[in-house]
């Protein structure tokens, strides 16, 4: 079956503590909430310690029109994408020998925080020596589920083309969407949670002979599910000044009720139960989201510790975040036959599951 042979993650240049972010929000919102001190507790209670951004802290203090935001998105998504691809293809952690860009057959580009036509991967092709014939598959609008969905679609591609080498590149610059004049609770919660991140994965078909330095996760199966009439659970509202976050307070309760049958039915189809999983590779949407995973699936906190670690260090970076978690699992001393479930949830409201076996 197709396999994941390398993963890389990229750290944007500006790193700030959660305390620094909270002080900025207090400065910006102080005249607009009667109970601001209570509201700002969300920064303390989210179990996030630091986050990385593509712009310095003072950028958030000013208004920026959509043109400026998107210009920065195109410029930085392209340059960061180049760095993440190089790190993935040249990984000394996972690959015995580096892979040249000209060997890549297709690129899935995943993002939801900016707009570009031609899409970002087309711009990246002009900066790295890819083949002129590489397939381009940009996917927009999947939000936090995008990393898992992109990996699933790469799996589908490799089933059809077993000689294919595929890159899944996730770039989210959530900071560029921040609205300093939006005093909604959703914007404040988003400001406490979201960050910037970039990750890239190399997925290869059955007939690709690339040597790995350690056992690597092989796809067993995938599943996608969308909840009917749930468009308002999470996503964006498009306004004249850009993207405004939609973030329902019901997300944790929805996960608890909706996720359990999705996961257990999927595992049952493969003669497995949740307690048989060696690894749970969960997108850490937030502290409450991880707690909802545990409650829904009967896991103790040890099953989500790596996801919590990524959340603490980086916040929720939307689509790339689950690849940061996957990278951490791939660095472990895994054994052949270990079983993992990769899971992410996003706008739609939708979920993506990937069953993996280390080979």
- Dist. CA 140–CA 73, nearest whole Å: 14
Helix axes 321-330, 146-160, angle to 10 degrees: 70
- Dist. CA 27–CA 191, nearest whole Å: 13
Is 174 a known active-site residue? no
Structure tokens at 225: 């599910």
- Dist. CA 203–CA 192, nearest whole Å: 33
Residue 212 per-residue DSSP state: B
Provide φ and ψ at 151, rounded to 5°.
-65, -40
**Cβ neighbours, 10 Å, residue 295:** 15
Q: Where are the beta strands (DSSP E) in the chain?
A: 3-10, 14-17, 50-53, 106-111, 135-140, 165-173, 196-204, 217-226, 234-239, 242-247, 279-282, 339-346, 350-358
From the number of C-beta atoms within 10 Å of its C-beta (0-12, 13-18, 19+), residue 211 rates as: exposed
Of 233, 125, 107, residue with least CA distance to 167: 107
Which of 88, 144, 200, 216 is catalytic? The answer is: 144
Give the residue numbers annotated as catalytic, written as ranges: 144
């Amino acid at each position: 079956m197709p396999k994941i042979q390398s993963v890389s993650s990229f750290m944007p240049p500006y790193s700030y503590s959660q305390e620094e972010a909270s002080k900025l929000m207090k400065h910006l919102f102080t005249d607009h909430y009667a109970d601001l001190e209570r509201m700002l507790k969300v920064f303390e209670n989210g179990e996030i310690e630091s986050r990385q951004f593509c712009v310095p802290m003072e950028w958030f203090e000013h208004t920026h029109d959509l043109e400026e935001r998107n210009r920065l998105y195109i410029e930085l998504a392209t340059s960061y994408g180049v760095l993440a691809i190089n790190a993935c293809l040249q990984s000394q952690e996972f690959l015995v020998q580096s892979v040249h860009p000209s060997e890549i057959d297709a690129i899935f580009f995943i993002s939801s925080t900016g707009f570009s036509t031609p899409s970002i991967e087309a711009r990246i092709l002009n900066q790295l020596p890819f083949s002129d014939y590489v397939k381009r598959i940009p996917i927009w609008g999947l939000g936090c589920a995008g990393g898992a969905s992109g990996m699933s679609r790469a799996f589908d591609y490799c089933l059809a083309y077993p000689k294919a080498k595929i890159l899944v590149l996730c770039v989210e610059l959530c900071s560029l969407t921040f609205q300093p004049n939006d005093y909604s609770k959703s914007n404040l919660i988003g400001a406490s949670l979201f960050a910037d991140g970039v990750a890239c994965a190399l997925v290869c078909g059955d007939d690709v002979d690339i040597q790995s330095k350690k056992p690597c996760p092989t796809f067993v199966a995938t599943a996608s599910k969308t909840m009917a009439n749930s468009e308002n659970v999470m996503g964006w509202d498009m306004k004249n000044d850009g993207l405004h976050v939609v973030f329902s307070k019901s997300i944790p309760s929805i996960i608890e009720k909706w996720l359990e049958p999705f996961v257990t039915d999927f595992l049952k189809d493969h003669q497995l139960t949740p307690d048989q999983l060696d690894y749970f590779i969960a997108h850490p949407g937030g502290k409450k989201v991880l707690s909802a995973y545990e409650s829904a699936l009967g896991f103790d906190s040890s099953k989500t510790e790596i996801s919590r670690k990524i959340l603490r260090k980086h916040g929720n970076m939307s689509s790339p975040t689950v690849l940061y978690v996957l990278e951490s699992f791939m660095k472990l001393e895994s054994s052949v036959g270990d079983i993992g479930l990769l899971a992410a949830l996003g706008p739609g409201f939708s979920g993506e599951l990937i069953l993996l076996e280390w080979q």
